[in-house]
Structure 1
């Protein structure tokens, strides 16, 4: 005996498959652009995060040019909007690269100007870096964020919790938030974030170092092997431990070994170059709940300047000091010997420290900087 289903007269009908269609996706792009033209800058920016199609539509130069000219008319030129928006034809607006007018609008909203670039032209002779770097970074409304990508593709963003400055480096710390397990991280991206007064996500730009190419010199057969200057500093997040500058560092062709240009900075027998280290070598750390001190650790910052006094290699990394076996007998120091080493794709550093019992302090007695010959050849246009 079969059963027959019954339906109440007033019961709502179940939605059909046809009723679940996304009509927005079926709209012509001209209609959607007309709707998007009614949005403010913050809403338009957020719409671009919905999907690839909306990202493409929300990047339309004409939409952002309209917002940009309205903003300029409101803040700087109190003239009718129609007069301002007619200043450039439609073809001229669309010829600009995608996102050009959006960038111009955000620059205008944040009061962006390039005065800080002019301030950075003054170079500190001692460090070889811009003289007002710290002042510029402090005054610009920029904070630093790290974007962490895991192997699964998940991304997490962490805001800075502290920053301290030294002669050649800025040390930024991130100690809050739930960080993923370190062995699951596939990439780290550093962003300078500037807050925009809009109801939308923060605007950020990833740091991209400018590639500086030295002029070719076909007269000097050893061009790129001499005239280097080194500024080195050992510090922690509180104070400087040691700082020194060395000029006219060089290397001959026959001293290029294992693919490295070797710059001998400090030798044991050159006591007049030995650098005193003030205080203990330690690295304080802290979180919102705990704090401590890492013994025999600090931050090593160095800047290698080429003959033109342009930065050739900049480095700022935490390093550890380990006790080493002293092979040579030293009559100048009575104490243990320690070594500090670092190596990456841009170069390597080997340093030796001696503990002086009578003065109760360390001395930097040996220092060698190695520059990859591939980096030297690429920078100077050579083939050593």
Structure 2
């Protein structure tokens, strides 16, 4: 009994001693924690803390943080996730991201994405592909069997609105007078092709304008813009012209519209532009690619824009280019080098956005060397010395309309010139604004009167025209027309010696 009680008391005493030791140890640890906390509070309040930041706990954590801050997490995503994100994009955006890198190019050309876009376009009933083609689009087995990019090419082809049996066949019929496809205007209207300009300011901001109206003549079309809020010329950096195919009845679900870049023009002061003409309200500035920009006198704010487009490859340029690159046609080559020596045809039209001023066709014409310029050959359509060849012309001017005002700028117009070879294929095509300037009398002519000249020149050739104003008849006559182009152009086109 005593042993049991004694043993119990000993165990009780030992437990009490352990409790005391535990309390003492916990008290010491608490003091240590409180002291460490007080020290940290003092360090935080000390100015030296800002100069000596507390080091990282481990070097590996710092290295991992540094690597993570500069890593492209999007590249670490699985391809399935990126494809899911791309499935929410439209055709135009999906086409653009394919230029980011090789991985994006492969993913953005996935048949799974483009087959869905093709099927969704069919549901809008904008056009109806063949039933067999549509059945292929909704079949997953067919999608996997097609080569990469198959459905992308098919959709873009349908969005561009062309097939080998449609307008390409229609454009084979040539107008014997102009040498251009006879149904160009018909095809442009049937496909609802329109043109829009994009003005880019110096900050990179873009403003898009749809054309107001068009003027068709036998071998070109003049496109006119005079609506919208126009900027000042000093704020602009460039101009882009795109061709678009619009639906006959636009709806909210018709986008995206395919945009085909036709050309890009810089509008900065460093680029050479020429003064075309002026009246009491506006000045006309001539840029390359057949562009006329009308600005208000005094403040140089844009009033309107006019662009003359030659029919040669116009439908291809308006449909088959990309939003960023122009369509590049294949250059024709002749088999017979003798065709470069004879049998040319020249068709020239002077016109403005309202009416035709002059239209003449000259054939056949034979090339000859330009005196004192051995690297050029020329075609003389109207000889200055032959009075029988002289042609009367109507008043040369450019009418305009903008913001409720109207005007007429004299002594300037549009020139559309087409040179055809012996096989009646286009050899040189020009659509550009031109200006009449006073010139000294070149020769004593039977027509006595004030003389004017029109000179056009680019890297492909030159055009020189001479006019005489007959005061007694109140009529202007074209007394000279010469077209010249580099001899190397003939040799490059036909081969052999020019």
Asked if Structure 1 and Structure 2 have the same fold, meaning a TM-score greater than 0.5 normalized by the shorter chain, the answer is yes
Counterpart in the other structure of 2:179: 128
- What is the aligned-residue RMSD (CA, Å)? 3.6
Q: Does 1:52 align with 2:104?
A: no
Counterpart in the other structure of 2:346: 230
Q: Does 1:311 align with 2:426?
A: yes
Q: Per the alignment, in what secondary structure is the counterpart of residue 52 of structure 1?
A: coil
Q: Per the alignment, in what secondary structure is the counterpart of residue 268 of structure 1?
A: coil
Structure 2: 5+ residue stretches without partners: 1-40, 46-64, 262-316, 318-326
Paired residues in the alignment total 361
Counterpart in the other structure of 1:12: none
Distance 1:382 1:182 in 2: 49
Larger radius of gyration: 2
Give per-residue Cα distances to partners, 1:196-231, cap 9 Å, x unaligned: 77465431123235233232325x4xx412111001
Q: Does 1:146 align with 2:197?
A: yes
1:33-112 equivalences in 2 (<5 Å): 33-34=83-84, 36-37=86-87, 39=88, 43=90, 45-46=92-93, 52=100, 56=105, 57-68=107-118, 75=128, 76-77=130-131, 85=139, 88=142, 90=144, 92-94=146-148, 96=149, 100-108=150-158, 112=162
Native 8 Å contact 1:45 1:58 kept in 2? no
1:1-384 equivalences in 2 (<5 Å): 25-34=75-84, 36-37=86-87, 39=88, 43=90, 45-46=92-93, 52=100, 56=105, 57-68=107-118, 75=128, 76-77=130-131, 85=139, 88=142, 90=144, 92-94=146-148, 96=149, 100-108=150-158, 112-113=162-163, 114-148=165-199, 155-175=206-226, 176-179=228-231, 181=233, 185=237, 188-195=239-246, 198=253, 200-206=255-261, 207=317, 208-217=327-336, 220=338, 223-252=339-368, 257-278=373-394, 280-331=395-446, 333-384=447-498
More helix by share: 2
Structure 1: 5+ residue stretches without partners: 6-15
Distance 1:123 1:82 in 2: 38
Shift in alpha-carbon separation, 1:315–1:29, aligned structure 2, 3 A: same
Higher relative contact order (CA 8 A, sep 6+): 1
Distance 1:79 1:125 in 2: 39
Distance 1:340 1:138 in 2: 33
Give per-residue Cα distances to partners, 1:128-180, cap 9 Å, x unaligned: 11111112112222111234556776655433222111112111123344356
Shift in alpha-carbon separation, 1:55–1:154, aligned structure 2, 3 A: farther
Shift in alpha-carbon separation, 1:255–1:141, aligned structure 2, 3 A: same
Distance 1:166 1:62 in 2: 46
Normalising by the residue count of structure 1, what TM-score does the alignment of the two structures yield? 0.80
Distance 2:372 2:142 in 1: 59
Counterpart in the other structure of 2:295: none
Normalising by the residue count of structure 2, what TM-score does the alignment of the two structures yield? 0.63
- C-alpha displacement of 1:381: 1.8
- C-alpha displacement of 1:311: 0.8
